[in-house]
């Protein structure tokens, strides 16, 4: 019998001064059996940085045709396709063709740097693609925030995000490898 996803609940208060977005979100995250707390919290970080009423978690690891998060307009067109990790170039090109913008969050340290060195010449031609790196130590610290029922605050100012619960605060300063042009 296959192992089922573990359900996590997160009450996330977002104060995004860069976008003037102030909202509370009651989120349900299904953590795939192969997913780590680190990756799940990176999904939550990506949600906090791009939050809107239309942004949703997808089936992600359970469906190879979907990203980790996406935002669709009322017609069903994809406005923002958000991936984690180091997707292959073919997948990224397909996503850029299907969506107005694509955002990739890398977070695995040296392997992410190697991936970027190998793929940046081809990816730099994609004008609707943003690639953001989160230092490996920061993503591992974010994993410490993971609990089955979470009360979290996310504050975004000048591109820096602070994720916190009542015991721990993590400052996330992303390194932008490529921005949308």
What does the pLDDT look like over 30-47, one tens digit per residue? 998 889 999 999 999 999
User: Domain 6-178 is in which class?
Assistant: alpha beta
pLDDT of residue 19: 97
Residue 62 has pLDDT above 60, yes or no: no
Tokens describing residue 144: 């410490």
Which long-range contacts does 23-26 make (Cβ < 8 Å, 24+ apart)? 23/51, 23/53, 25/51
The CA distance from 127 to 144, in Å, is 35
Which residues are within 8 A (CB) of 99 and not within 5 positions of it... i.e. 6 or more apart? 70, 78, 79, 80, 81, 128
Work out the percent of the chain whose per-residue pLDDT is above 70. Answer: 97
Supply the pTM of this predicted model. Answer: 0.94
Read off the pLDDT of residues 105-131 as tens digits, 9 standing for 90 and up: 999 889 999 999 999 999 999 999 999
Residue 61 has pLDDT above 60, yes or no: no
């Amino acid at each position: 019998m296959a192992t089922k996803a573990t359900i996590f609940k997160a009450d996330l208060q977002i104060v995004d001064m860069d976008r003037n977005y102030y909202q509370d979100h009651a989120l349900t995250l299904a953590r795939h059996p192969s997913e780590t707390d680190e990756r799940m919290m990176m999904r939550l970080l990506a949600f906090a940085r791009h939050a809107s009423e239309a942004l949703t978690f997808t089936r992600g690891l359970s469906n190879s045709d979907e990203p980790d998060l996406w935002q669709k307009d009322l017609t069903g067109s994809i406005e923002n396709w958000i991936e984690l990790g180091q997707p292959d170039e073919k997948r990224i090109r397909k996503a850029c063709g299907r969506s107005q913008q694509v955002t990739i969050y890398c977070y695995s340290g040296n392997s992410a740097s190697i991936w970027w060195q190998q793929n940046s010449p081809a990816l730099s031609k994609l004008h609707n693609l943003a690639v953001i790196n989160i230092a490996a130590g920061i993503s591992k610290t974010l994993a410490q925030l993971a609990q089955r029922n979470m009360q979290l605050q996310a504050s975004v100012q000048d591109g820096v995000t602070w994720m916190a619960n009542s015991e721990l605060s993590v400052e996330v300063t992303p390194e932008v490898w490529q921005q949308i042009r």
